[in-house]
Structure 1
Amino acid sequence: MTDNQSFIHQDKPISSKADDFLGRNYFSENLAKSILSWKHKESWVVALTGKWGSGKTSIKNLVIQHINDKNKDMIILDFSPWEWSSQDLITQAFFDELEKKLIIKNRKIALDFVDYKNFTLKKSNFRNLKFLDLKKLKKIKNLPLNIIRIILLSLHNISTVLYEPIIKLLPVFGTGILISPIIDDSLKKHFLYVFLSLFILGSISNIYQYFYAKTNSLRDNKNNLSKSLINIKHPILIIFDDLDRLNKSQLESLMQLIKSNLDFNNLIFFLLYSKEVVEEKLTDNSQKGVDYLQKIIQYEVTTPIIEDFELRQVIVNNFDMFMNDLNVKNKKDIAKPEDFQRIINGVLNYLIDMRAIYRFFNSYRFNLTSLVNNHHLEVNAIDFMALETIRLFEPELFESIKSNGSFLTGQPYFERTGKIAESNEVKEEIDSFRKINISLKNATLLEYMFPILTDYSDRTKLKNLKISSAEKFDNYFIYSSSKTKISSYDVELIKNDLSNDTNSVTIIDNYFSSTKRTSLLAQIYMLAKELNNIEKSNLVVALSHLFQKTNSTLSISSERQNLLLLVDNLISSIDEVDIKITTFNNLNHANIHSYILMFLINSLEKYKNGLSDVQISEITQSTLNKIKHYIQVDYDKFIADEYSRSMYFFFQKHDSKYAKAFFTVQLNDERTFKSTLSIFIGNFGVIGSEAIDASSLFTIIEESKFKTLLNRFLIKNPDDKFINNVSYLYSKRIFDT
């Protein structure tokens, strides 16, 4: 395609044989030959019918080109009646346009046509330019009369050119001149003289117009025009395009215009329209549209059927051209030939003509280009092609897809419904969706986009950038680069910096601190599959630094829980023992919360396939030392930490002797007694808890000693709410037991 881009964007018919990619040229050439062969005969009405978008105007343009190639002298009027607002304007415009063509090609016919036009439009009393007919002057032998006729004709034409516009401007400018106090009286007199002269010219023009129009009857003028038309070498081709765009009254008026001129020779009317549309508009109580057209149309041809292989080639060419022009760096991820071949038949179910293809590619280009971010496309181009087809031609299905993203991307049943699925419930869900939404027309596209619809147990097809990937699904519905989502370009930046431990911490922290925080962890899940061991190790450390910045809720699907699971999965996927040990050592030496290390150590059992007991012991001891240091350096901060209870249990499990000695001192110290008690109250130190963890507390201190310390503190601080609550919980414990 030489100019494929403009061809698609402008949605216009082809204008030359070089642009014909649907094999219309041969058909158009034969039609042009038929028109050229119609000489010295009565008028002929040819109709080219076809649905909207079937290429009627393109065929017309090719017919005109073939005619011009063979006969440049043929008069062709290509008229678009739908550009005019009323039936009167359509008739007037038609005669005016034909007059212009005739003046250029054949002056004699033009003179006869003007007279005929004036009678047809009842314009004998309207101002029109008149042409000097030398033949009529020769018939009149009286020289003075000829001179008078020439003078009157000249004055009439001058009046026609000058009189009307000045009269129209008079109310605005003339009144202003006459009443203005700053304009000289002599200027006003001159203005009046000019106006009087124009008035006299107009009167002479009216007299001339009256007598000139009365020289012949309508029949005389029509006969004169018929004789002129009979003698021309080639017929006049009058083309009426887009008749189906006219309203009922406009269409009826135009058909009447054609009928009233059918008795002229060497006129060929070439009509282009959608047959069903025009027949419906011409149907009323008195007649059927099809019968009406049969009285006028003498020869009807239908636009050739566009074969699927032709449409397929147009789609392929346009897609290839667009992808070649698309300036992105991740082309290998966004458009695979085998995927294109899988959906092309499904797309052809909707793109059934050139207009549909124009419409599709205009939309596809615009929306897909808007999803390019820093030279990275955020979606799969083939998936987006399938979805855009659905959006344009099945909008209700599009909305159904949009609202069922969690289901179509394979999100677990429990996360979607809040309950455990029965053995067949997921399959029933899929069957229900298929029954409501899938048809023979859209099945190819839907089953390609969402593998779950064909095999609900298969998750291997949920690839990066695909619409069936839960992390990417939303990208297909924003049609613009999102400020809140990690883009493919962002992922590339992160990946490039993960080879350096310092850079990895910085870039992860920057993204997490930005508006793209929400989607960071989801995208890293996808990125992790592409990383080597060193990059995974650096990513683990970088993510661990985010622990204190996440929300503190450790519920399922919370931000912090997702972070912990991601770090756990990353370490599990490191398959080199040395790098795995280095990762734990880096975590222990980095400024991160000890809880994340404890969380990982509690999962060490699943790492044993790569780590020895000695190595696990060393990692555990290193974490324990970090917690000991934390407690010893800043005990008040440790006690206030929301994870103090977890760290205490870790401390007690791996060094119970030291833990007992240390916390016994804290409980016996009046300054730290109250704060230390928070470790043994409920879960994570929540005061509103219903119990004291007595089993843990009384391994540190004897119950009698604790009772004494509690009473002593309560006596000194009778209004302390925390101690009163502890006393209540302790009393409740004794009562319950």
Structure 2
Amino acid sequence: MEREGEEPSPSQWLSADRPIRSRSEDELGRRGFSEALADAIRGWSGQESLVIALYGPWGNGKSSVKNMAVEALDQSSPRIRCVEFNPWQMAIRPSLSEAFFDELGIALGKGDLGSEKQRKRTLNTFKRWALRLRGPHDLAKATRNVVGALLILVGLAAFGSAWLHSKTFAFTFGILALVIALLAFTTGLVEATIKLLAAGIDVGQKSINEIKEKLAQDLKRLKTPIVVVLDDLDRLTPQETLEVFQLIKSNADFPNTVYLTICERSIVESNISSVLKVSGSEYLEKIVQVAFDVPLIDIERVRRILFDRLNQLLVGEAVSKHFNTTRWANIFWSGVHAYFSTLRDVNRFVSTLAFQFSSFFVDGAFEVNPIDLIALEVLRLNEPVVYRALQSSKEVLTSHKSNGRDTEEAKQSLNSIVEAGSNNHQNEITEILKHLFPATERAFGGPSYSAEFGARWYRELRVCSPKLFDRYFRLAVNAEELPQATVQKLLAARGDRSELTSILGSLATRGLLVLALEELAICEDELGAEQVEAYLAGIFDTGDKIPETRPAGFEIPIQWRIGFLVQHALEKIEKADARAAALVNAIDVTSGLTMAIEVADILTAKSAEEGSEPFLSGADASDVQAAALRKMEAAASSGALARSPRVASLLHIWHRWGEPGKAAAFAEGMSNTPEGILALLKSLELRSTVRQVGDRAATERYYFQRTDFEPLISLDKLNEKVNALPAETLDEQGNRLVRNFHKMLERRDAGQPDSGPFAFD
């Protein structure tokens, strides 16, 4: 069990997917069956061998039941010796018969056969029996190898003759090749022949039946049977399967020997049928005397085990905070449950899931929704084609478009994804997709969800959020995303101006300040009224650090986005005068300038709009403007105003708020230095992007509008000062500013408008 808040270690969950070795590990309640099987074997005392089959499909725990039965036999008194022979795990599969007899001989050597002399005599008899059975098979195999090699070499010799155009050399080459082949390939033939002859010497004295009878008499002296366990027979090739069962058949009438075969019956029967062209079922019935099926798995036990292991992964606030029990029940019973029918399913799944969990822990925070991660991992392991299709279907899975054409196209795409899954699980796949991606429900005939749900799903770290979708498939947090640990610190600092300013400042240096503001906007519902003043001051402190960019197309300017953020925060305060007081105090204390004044301008303008309830009363709006003007004048005196990249915007606000003389005087003062002129021009410059037909990238164009200059400074006077700028002091940007300023004046003198095709450089 994990300690509270501790990240899971993937290594402790990794499973080799091997059967259990001991009855103490039994989790499926099969210990009783395995012990009953061991008791049946222990009590066998027939005059012939007993062949028992334990049947069951792959993954159903056959090997685990076998291991528990073998453990019970090993612990019996007197101890029963078990020989485990797994032909599938053999490194050299062609030597199945040899390995089989070797293992059986080892078991006999350790059995209770009486005196040492008697044991040796029995083993010699067994060896002669084994040689007699193996000899023809080994000889035939060795002969086939030699003939095959000779044919290959003859072909090579013929090819060499045609290539070399020399009969003498070709003959010599062929003879040499044959000699080498004989030396290399007849070793097996010679050994097999010697073994067969050695067996024949004994047969000359005793018939094969006499040897078998002698061996049977010796085996009757065993006090406990020898149990030969043959596992994984359903993993062999058809020919290998037949060979193993022929070995069992050849040795199936010796006393005190029990063969326990473990396999999936249908596979073995099919293998035998494919080789012998007879009924595999009838063939098995002639060999197997007693057959058992592995007890059905109690599916409720499997689910309890799954839930117990998932609960261990869910320990800790970092993961459990986004675990909704109702939602988990809905997604599990509607689809996920169908993929867990065996303990192997559970072990394989939890092993990889633990690794996925560890990948999403960053600084103690969990970066995704655990329910979504579990469901996606179920699809990844069991429906890999569906999972890969999901990766490339972000738009259709997360889009909220609702017109008829979009819905029909989405339905076709989703049906193709579902149809890529297992035929017997397509209903479950559909249900899982609907729970993971609610926006898809309308395509399946369900309800539609508005875009407003997007913020909620993002807060819950759901995969259906477009912002988080890629994270689930990358298995990591992108460098351009905020880790949840950072988000949690940010949200916790909203009532502490100093801490909030510090965090926002750190994010600003990494270019992540805009992302941080988006996180604050998404979680605005959780902001408390008592936090608002400190919250606003912290935003104003760092708002000026946002890089100066001009929005393109329909993008909302950053000052408006922060304005919305501030307005929604102030709405947490019920009384209007308290709202104004919080905003005034934040403006007074902030170390920022531009964002505080521009947001004050936006909110006071909203209060003056006709036809709507004012956000601030007239008196409150005046108090806010007064605070902003105090901030402006202080910045003008300290030089901070002239250094602001948005000095022109601030001067326009100063002008609109009833002090045009002060604004104009400040602009005039800036124009008295080359640095001031260029700073003023830069703050008044406008940018547009244009994309020509066939262009892959947009072109940036810069221009001025004279209406932006006229409230602040005389264009003719400014022109004189611009013309006086030393050419050697102008860099590329400076030259562009001067050039576009002159183009604006040319348009004015020619009677052309400020905007349109004439405006651009």
Per the alignment, in what secondary structure is the counterpart of residue 93 of structure 1?
Answer: helix
Contact 1:79 1:94 in 2 (8 A): yes
Counting only pairs closer than 5 Å after superposition, residues 64-463 of structure 1 correspond to structure 2 as 64-67=70-73, 71-87=77-93, 89-108=95-114, 110-122=119-131, 218-284=208-274, 286-288=276-278, 289-324=280-315, 328-345=316-333, 346-405=335-394, 407-410=396-399, 413=401, 423-425=403-405, 427-428=407-408, 430-438=410-418, 439-454=426-441, 455-458=447-450, 459-460=452-453, 462=457, 463=459
- CA 1:17–1:583 in structure 2 vs 1: closer, same or farther (change >3 Å)? same
Per the TM alignment, residue 373 of structure 1 is displaced from its structure 2 partner at its CA by 2.7
Partner of residue 507, structure 2: 511
Contact 1:367 1:480 in 2 (8 A): no
Partner deviation per Cα, 1:430-470 (whole Å, 9 max, x = no partner): 43443233430223322222222334325545142333344
> Which AA in structure 2 matches 1:444?
E
Contact 1:691 1:733 in 2 (8 A): no
Per the TM alignment, residue 272 of structure 1 is displaced from its structure 2 partner at its CA by 0.7
> Which AA in structure 1 matches 2:616?
L
Residues 1:647 and 2:638 are matched in the alignment: no
Counting only pairs closer than 5 Å after superposition, residues 569-588 of structure 1 correspond to structure 2 as 569-574=565-570, 575-576=572-573, 577=576, 578=578, 581-588=581-588
Partner of residue 171, structure 1: none
Partner deviation per Cα, 1:92-136 (whole Å, 9 max, x = no partner): 33333333333333134743552244234539999xxxxxxxxxx
Per the alignment, in what secondary structure is the counterpart of residue 368 of structure 2?
Answer: coil
Residues 1:616 and 2:621 are matched in the alignment: yes
- CA 1:290–1:314 in structure 2 vs 1: closer, same or farther (change >3 Å)? same
Per the TM alignment, residue 721 of structure 1 is displaced from its structure 2 partner at its CA by 3.8
Partner of residue 733, structure 1: 751
What value does the CA root-mean-square deviation take over the aligned residues?
Answer: 4.4
Contact 2:349 2:378 in 1 (8 A): yes
Contact 1:540 1:571 in 2 (8 A): no
Partner deviation per Cα, 1:268-311 (whole Å, 9 max, x = no partner): 21111123333344343641544543443333332233243232
> Which AA in structure 2 matches 1:408?
L
> Which AA in structure 2 matches 1:530?
E
Partner deviation per Cα, 1:663-712 (whole Å, 9 max, x = no partner): 79569979899669849977479996666435x655678xxx86698589
Q: What's the TM-score once normalised by structure 1's chain length?
A: 0.73
Structure 2 distance, partners of 1:283, 1:667, is 98
Indicate which of 672, 693, 701 corresponds to 2:706. Answer: 693
> Which AA in structure 1 matches 2:527?
L
Partner deviation per Cα, 1:134-155 (whole Å, 9 max, x = no partner): xxxxxxxxxxxxxxxxxxxxxx
Per the TM alignment, residue 630 of structure 1 is displaced from its structure 2 partner at its CA by 4.2
Structure 1 distance, partners of 2:675, 2:220, is 121
Task: Give unpaired runs (5+ residues) of structure 1.
Answer: 127-205, 414-421
Partner deviation per Cα, 1:411-432 (whole Å, 9 max, x = no partner): x65xxxxxxxx74355445434
- State the structure with more CA Rg: 1
Per the TM alignment, residue 357 of structure 1 is displaced from its structure 2 partner at its CA by 1.3
Per the TM alignment, residue 659 of structure 1 is displaced from its structure 2 partner at its CA by 5.2
Partner deviation per Cα, 1:38-69 (whole Å, 9 max, x = no partner): 32232232222222111101121233345456
- CA 1:249–1:724 in structure 2 vs 1: closer, same or farther (change >3 Å)? same
Residues 1:59 and 2:49 are matched in the alignment: no
- CA 1:315–1:513 in structure 2 vs 1: closer, same or farther (change >3 Å)? same
Structure 2 distance, partners of 1:664, 1:263, is 113
Q: What's the TM-score once normalised by structure 2's chain length?
A: 0.71
Per the alignment, in what secondary structure is the counterpart of residue 53 of structure 1?
Answer: coil
Task: Give unpaired runs (5+ residues) of structure 2.
Answer: 2-10, 136-194, 419-425, 442-446, 608-612, 690-699, 728-734, 756-761
- CA 1:682–1:512 in structure 2 vs 1: closer, same or farther (change >3 Å)? closer
- CA 1:589–1:241 in structure 2 vs 1: closer, same or farther (change >3 Å)? same
Per the alignment, in what secondary structure is the counterpart of residue 509 of structure 1?
Answer: helix
- CA 1:536–1:112 in structure 2 vs 1: closer, same or farther (change >3 Å)? farther
Matched positions, count: 635
Per the TM alignment, residue 523 of structure 1 is displaced from its structure 2 partner at its CA by 3.5
- CA 1:486–1:665 in structure 2 vs 1: closer, same or farther (change >3 Å)? closer
Contact 1:330 1:376 in 2 (8 A): yes
Structure 2 distance, partners of 1:736, 1:329, is 59
Deviates more, 1:389-398 or 1:298-307: 298-307
Deviates more, 1:621-630 or 1:708-717: 708-717
Residues 1:490 and 2:482 are matched in the alignment: no
> Which AA in structure 1 matches 2:751?
R
Structure 2 distance, partners of 1:727, 1:699, is 16
Structure 2 distance, partners of 1:564, 1:700, is 23
